[in-house]
């Protein structure tokens, strides 16, 4: 799945760079890594702090032959692969906050921003943007209680080492995903989930409501019990889940 690897010193955002490449080259798949991002993007239009050499900032440009509706579960593939990579390179336990935040000692260490271009029934490309905090010792006030880095957790490991471990794990999970087999990926999520069995808030653009998380379904969606005691399925991309 990788035909090119582009290492940059600086870029606005590796996701934006991947999208530019996707438009120029209609078939290419590959990887972009940058030491610094000047306009790193987070989910929900947020900014993502990406100072020079403080983290692993990367995007995969992929063109899986799947239907657009199967595309969002690729986020789960990358979350499982990165959790596996961090655990393989450190002695830390990594939790996964469905669908894609990686958590160490209750704080976020890695975020994933998936962007895609698709028409009805045809997926053009997916950009999987992954940011792992490696060396920050401080964070902006608004996220200080919520964010951490490997260094803050007492681990010094290079971005290259994490990247190699990630690519190995990702190629394994990704081939299962392409074969339509999500079983090992879901099992990995269930074993590392900090969401299942918890009360959470489901935050959509129109409302916020409480729910209890029962399970992760075979397609990667979340099974919750809502405030009326009914079972409900929550799909990623539409919501944000916050612990209460």
Query: Site residues (CB under 6 A) for ligand BTN?
Result: 13-15, 37, 40-43, 46, 48, 50, 57-59, 101, 111-113, 129-131
Q: Cβ of residue 59: shortest distance to ligand BTN, in angstroms?
A: 5
When the beta carbons of 15 and 221 are compared against ligand BTN, the nearer one is 15
Q: Cβ of residue 127: shortest distance to ligand BTN, in angstroms?
A: 8
Does 14 show up as a binding residue in the annotation? Answer: yes
Q: And the tokens for 243?
A: 């612990």
Q: Cβ of residue 110: shortest distance to ligand BTN, in angstroms?
A: 8
CA distance 244 to 241: 10
- Give yes or no for a contact between 67 and 47, defined as CB atoms under 8 angstroms apart: no
Q: Sort strands 30-37 and 4-11 into parallel, antiparallel or unpaired.
A: parallel
Neighbour tally for 44: CB within 10 Å: 9
Does 108 show up as a binding residue in the annotation? Answer: yes
Q: Cβ of residue 44: shortest distance to ligand BTN, in angstroms?
A: 7
Does 91 show up as a binding residue in the annotation? Answer: no
- Give yes or no for a contact between 55 and 131, defined as CB atoms under 8 angstroms apart: yes
Q: Residue 107 pairs with which residues in a beta bridge?
A: 104
Does 15 show up as a binding residue in the annotation? Answer: yes
Burial 169-199 (b: 16+ CB within 10 A, else e): bbebbbeebbeeebeebbebbeebbbbbeee
Q: Cβ of residue 120: shortest distance to ligand BTN, in angstroms?
A: 27
Q: And the tokens for 237?
A: 């991309």
Does 149 show up as a binding residue in the annotation? Answer: no
When the beta carbons of 115 and 153 are compared against ligand BTN, the nearer one is 115
Q: Is 230 helix (H, G, I), strand (E, B) or coil?
A: coil
Query: Where is the binding site, in residues?
Result: 13-15, 37, 108
Query: Where is the binding site for biotin, in residues?
Result: 13-15, 37, 108
């Amino acid at each position: 799945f990788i035909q090119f690897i582009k290492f940059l010193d600086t870029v606005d955002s590796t996701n934006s760079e991947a999208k530019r490449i996707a438009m120029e080259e209609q078939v290419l798949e590959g990887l972009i890594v940058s030491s610094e991002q000047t306009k790193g993007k987070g989910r929900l239009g947020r900014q993502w702090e990406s100072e020079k050499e403080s983290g692993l900032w990367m995007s995969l440009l992929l063109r899986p032959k799947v239907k657009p509706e199967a595309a969002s579960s690729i986020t789960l593939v990358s979350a499982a692969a990165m959790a596996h990579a961090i655990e393989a390179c450190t002695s830390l336990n990594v939790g996964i906050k469905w669908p894609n935040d990686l958590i160490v000692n209750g704080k976020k260490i890695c975020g994933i921003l998936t962007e895609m271009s698709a028409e009805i029934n045809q997926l053009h490309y997916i950009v999987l943007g992954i940011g792992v905090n490696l060396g920050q010792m401080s964070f902006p006030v608004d996220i200080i209680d919520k964010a951490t880095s490997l260094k803050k957790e007492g681990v010094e490991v290079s971005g290259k080492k994490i990247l190699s471990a990630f690519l190995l794990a990702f190629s394994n999970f990704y081939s299962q995903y392409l074969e339509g087999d999500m079983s090992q990926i879901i099992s990995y999520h269930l074993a590392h989930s900090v969401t299942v069995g918890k009360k959470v808030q489901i935050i959509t653009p129109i409302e916020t409501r409480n729910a209890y998380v029962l399970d992760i379904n075979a397609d990667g969606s979340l099974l919750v019990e809502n405030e009326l005691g009914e079972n409900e399925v929550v799909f990623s991309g539409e919501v944000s889940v916050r612990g209460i």
